[in-house]
Chain A
């Protein structure tokens, strides 16, 4: 990736990256640093509301997302790592732009005006903007790029840019061989993995089975929750390791501190990495 040259960005990691997926957080920060982005974590950020608040008390979900927007420094973009968090933050931001009573509520609660100019970026948008310098670092690693539900959006956001194919493009640029498969945009089961495993389990198995049948040696996820759900709910005999996209990028960029990250995986990727000399 070309270096963007010291650009300051504020950063919302979200609960998953702050806890269960620290390896995702660390590799993402490293990749950003390599590309010339300096990330400053949003001071005292809170949970975006997650599926639970947005699913049973949408008004509460909106307010939780708004507090985060109110903490964002003006004039610099806000980078969000988690596909689900960014959707909630963008939906809240979109409502603030359209709806006066939502703006009034925001001002009453947070004592400042909503910043309609705030740019909310997903990690993919940084990647998409950077030119790729082709090389062969990833040694032909056969991977199944998995987007989960991140490419699906509510109708109000459907005109925003779509990132379908971005992982395929970037991974091939660094010498990996992405496979074509059918389940790249199939939801991982999100909270049903915890609340109704008998429904989420078969969903995950179908995803992994299709990746294996398509010849993939590993699955690459864009979302930390997808990563966790696949790792804990897959009951197939033949499984493949699951990487966070940022981990593979970090290997591609040789930023180098990956060793500890893989110890946090439930499906050990070490034998595969060794066989590919990575």
Chain B
């Protein structure tokens, strides 16, 4: 699944051959068939916060604008809700394309346009690695700490605690080693 990468490629602002093929292979979806009709964007719930809109991101990849695509905030705002694919007359799996772009961006060490969102995802993965399940209170505390926003949303946190919606202790699985062996890249739960 890993694809070749190099500093030369990463810093190249010119269109680059091969990038489209790489993302087609990684996403498992041949999005070359996109018509750019923009139906995806009209269904997308976060389109207002996007710079390129979903088909615009696809266009960047088709034309080989590697850095623009990997460093865009659009790929991080996408929640994978699949509304775009439902609208798409060509059945492009847009959510899978966005996942492939995020994975590539992380692997290559591209500049992440939305570090807060990536940090949140990493905290979720760390929680799964530690417990086999997600422990929401800890994920939120660690995320807020990392973002240096420990006191934002504290009112919501307290309300949830008082309604017993945030468990203090994690729900753990017994055979944690079966889950941990799936995480070769992440170490010790301290990431």
Contacts and interface: CB of A to CB of B under 8 A. Distances in A.
Interface of A: 15, 18-21, 44-47, 49-60, 63-64, 67, 87, 109, 148-149, 151-156, 158, 185-187, 189-192, 194-197, 199, 203, 228, 232, 263-266
A20 B166 CA distance: 6
Nearest to A202: B48
Interface string B87-102: 0100111011011101
A57 B102 CA distance: 8
Contacts of A194: 120, 139-140, 143
Contacts of B164: 264
B114 interface: yes
Given A19-B171, A51-B79, A203-B46, 6 more contacts: A18-B133, A19-B167, A50-B134, A154-B82, A195-B143, A232-B159
A192 B82 contact: no
User: What size tier do the contact residues of chain B reach?
Assistant: 35 or more
Contacts of A263: 163
Given A186-B45, A199-B77, A266-B159, A191 B82 contact: no
Interface in B29-71: 29, 45-46, 49
Contacts of A187: 45, 79, 81, 83
A190 B81 contact: yes
A56 B121 contact: yes
A58 B103 contact: yes
Contacts of B174: 44
A51 B80 contact: yes
A20 B128 contact: no
Interface string B148-183: 000011001001100111110001011100110111
B145 interface: no
Contact of A197 (B29, B153, B159): B153
B86 A45 contact: no
A265 B81 CA distance: 25
B179 A67 contact: yes
B124 interface: yes
- Of the listed residues A51, A56, A67, A187, the one surrounded by the most CB atoms of chain B closer than 10 A to its CB is A56
Nearest to A66: B182
Contact of A47 (B49, B103, B134): B134
A47 B133 contact: yes
Interface in B1-45: 1, 29, 45
Nearest to B171: A18
Given A186-B45, A196-B116, A154 B95 contact: yes
A54 B80 contact: yes
A149 B133 contact: no
A196 B179 CA distance: 28
Nearest to B79: A190
A41 B136 CA distance: 21
Given A15-B134, A19-B136, A63-B182, A155 B80 contact: no
Given A58-B100, A63-B182, A154-B96, A192 B132 contact: no
Given A149-B81, A187-B45, A20 B86 contact: no
Contacts of A47: 128, 132-134
Nearest to B155: A232
Nearest to B126: A52
The 9 closest A-B pairs by CB, nearest first: A52-B124, A195-B120, A149-B81, A155-B91, A52-B121, A187-B81, A152-B82, A46-B132, A152-B86
B102 A55 contact: yes
B99 A55 contact: yes
A266 B161 CA distance: 10
B72 interface: no
A264 B159 CA distance: 10
B93 A155 contact: yes
Contacts of A156: 93
A15 B124 CA distance: 12
Given A46-B133, A46-B173, A152-B81, A203 B45 contact: yes
Contact of B125 (A57, A148, A189): A57
Contacts of B86: 151-153, 158
B79 A20 contact: no
B167 A54 contact: no
